[in-house]
Amino acid sequence: MSDVRTPAQIEADIIRRRESLAETLDEIGVRMHPRTIVGDAKARVASTVDQTAGRAFVAVNRVVTDLKSGLRHEDGAPRLERLVPVAMLAVGVVGLLALSTRRKR
């Protein structure tokens, strides 16, 4: 038994395929539009920046936490033997910056 199609069935199949092809071409047109390409690129860059900023925040937070724990005893009292040298170093750096700014003027 052969699979014979009527002209109406063939025409309906052609219309269906034409509509499917039109949808596919429309989708390709949207994907290849410069605005779409730029928008996708911006989204990828934003995602990368967010990930990098997140990693940087975690790293800085870890360093600050480690530094804080090194400057305090377990009971929360400050460790003066570590705190005083850090404070003197900070004052020295600020002083050098002030001198260098004053000399430039």
Does the pLDDT at position 1 exceed 90?
A: no
Q: What is the pLDDT of residue 105?
A: 65
In this predicted structure, the answer to whether residue 26 has a pLDDT above a threshold of 90 is yes
Q: What tokens were used for 12? A: 């309906």
Q: What is the mean pLDDT of residues 49-60?
A: 94
Contacts of residue 36, Cβ cutoff 8 Å, sequence gap at least 6: 30
Residue of 67, 59, 62 lying closest to 90 (CA atoms): 67
Give the mean model confidence (pLDDT) for residues 47-62: 94
Q: What's the one-letter identity of residue 93?
A: V
Instruction: Determine the Cα–Cα distance for residues 96 and 105; give it in Å rounded to an integer.
Output: 15
DSSP result, 53-64? HHHHHHHHHHHH
Tell me which residue of 67, 88, 64, 90 sits closest to 78, measured CA to CA: 67
Angle of helix 34-71 versus helix 7-32 axis, rounded to 10:
50
Query: Given this model, what pLDDT does residue 80 score?
Result: 87
Question: Tens digits of per-residue pLDDT, 55-100?
Answer: 999 999 999 898 888 888 888 888 888 888 888 999 999 999 998 8
* Residue 75, helix vs strand vs coil: coil
